[in-house]
């Protein structure tokens, strides 16, 4: 019975460590998605136009003055 409780405690500790690690990692990772929108009502001047939306930062910093985030956003606008 003691061995069972020891294993159960180890499993709970491992799960807590995993959850905390995942939460921290997911809060400091930049995820990107690319969508192509076509609409015949858009003027030709919008051809090749790129919109970058940044959201859900939750006070996370991506480099000093968010330079990593800005750099990645600029690269996305060139794609």
Report the alpha-carbon distance of residue 50 to residue 54 in Å, rounded. Answer: 13
- Write out the two tokens for 27: 């809060």
Predicted pLDDT of residue 16? 96
Q: What is the pLDDT of residues 1-60, one digit of tens each?
A: 677 778 899 999 999 999 999 988 877 778 888 888 888 898 888 887 888 888 877 777
Report the alpha-carbon distance of residue 46 to residue 43 in Å, rounded. Answer: 6
State whether residue 12 is helix, strand or coil: helix
Question: Which residues have C-beta within 8 Å of that of residue 71, sequence separation ≥ 6?
Answer: 63
């Amino acid at each position: 019975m003691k061995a069972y409780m020891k294993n159960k405690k180890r499993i709970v500790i491992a799960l807590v460590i995993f959850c905390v690690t995942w939460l921290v990692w997911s809060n400091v990772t930049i995820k990107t998605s690319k969508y192509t929108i076509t609409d015949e009502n858009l003027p030709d001047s919008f051809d090749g136009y790129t919109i970058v939306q940044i959201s859900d930062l939750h006070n996370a910093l991506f480099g000093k003055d968010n330079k990593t985030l800005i750099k990645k956003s600029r690269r996305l606008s060139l794609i």
